[in-house]
Amino acid sequence: MFFWTRTDDGWAVNLDGTDAAQSFTLPRIEIRTSPRGWACACHLGDGTSLLVPLGHPTTAAAAMRAGVEACLRAAGAPYETDLRALFVSPEAH
Q: What is the pLDDT of residues 69-79, one digit of tens each?
A: 889 888 888 88
- pTM assigned to the model: 0.87
pLDDT in tens, 13-65: 999 999 999 999 999 999 998 888 999 999 999 999 999 889 899 998 899 99
Can you tell me the distance from the alpha carbon of 61 to that of 54, in angstroms, rounded to the nearest whole number?
12
- Burial (CB count within 10 angstroms: exposed 0-12, middle 13-18, buried 19+), residue 1: exposed
For residue 35, what are the contacts with CB-CB under 8 A and spacing of at least 6? none
